[in-house]
Amino acid sequence: MKVLFILLSTVFISSCTVFYPVANNGEHDPQNLQIYYQSYHEILDTFNGIYTGTAKINMWLTTSEQKIILSKIEEAKFFSFPDTIYQNPNEIISPTPGPVLLRFKYKNFDKTVLLDYPIGKPNYEKYADGFEEIRSLLYSIIYSKPEYKALPPVIGGYQ
């Protein structure tokens, strides 16, 4: 059932967006640090160079941006996180932001973490701050990129 939900969610997000190609002549920095980030309303996929939010655009990270993110990943010890950070069954957030998937691939390291809100169990809370710091950094980089700034303004929605 979860697989069907994820599949339908991905199809829905893809069908609700418009693709805005960005002219860069196919040139971009090598993606030594590859990222797949999926929240309930956005996907950043540097494996394929695509960002999907209110629109779908080409997006690659610069070498400098990758170094900044890698530094934050190492500081948070992301590669030692558990595969799933479970929600607290006694806490309810409404509306729930849903699960967040974050994958980093760098050299021989390839780690995917699924975070489900609200974060449960005290032993998972120690990962929450690092996860949120990484996530905030990704958003600040995405939103500062010329490709994102060139999108038409968001009308309504989540921003």
Give per-residue pLDDT as tens, 102-122.
999 999 999 999 987 656 555
Instruction: Identify the CATH number of the domain in which residue 110 sits.
Output: 3.30.1560
* Domain-embedded: residue 159: no
* Domain-embedded: residue 158: no
Min mean pLDDT across 32-46, 108-122, 142-156 is at 108-122
CA distances from 21 to 18, 86, 132 (A): 10, 37, 30
The answer to whether 59 and 91 are in contact (CB under 8 A) is no
Domain count, the chain: 1
* Domain-embedded: residue 111: yes
* Domain-embedded: residue 72: yes
Give the range of the structural domain holding residue 60, as residue numbers without chain letter: 2-149
DSSP letter for each residue of 41-89:
S-EEETTTTEEESSSEEE----HHHHHHHHHHHHHHTGGGS-SEEPBPT
Predicted pLDDT at 79: 94
* H/E stretch holding 136: helix 122-144
* Average pLDDT over every residue of 146-150: 89
* Domain-embedded: residue 157: no
> At 49, which amino acid appears?
G
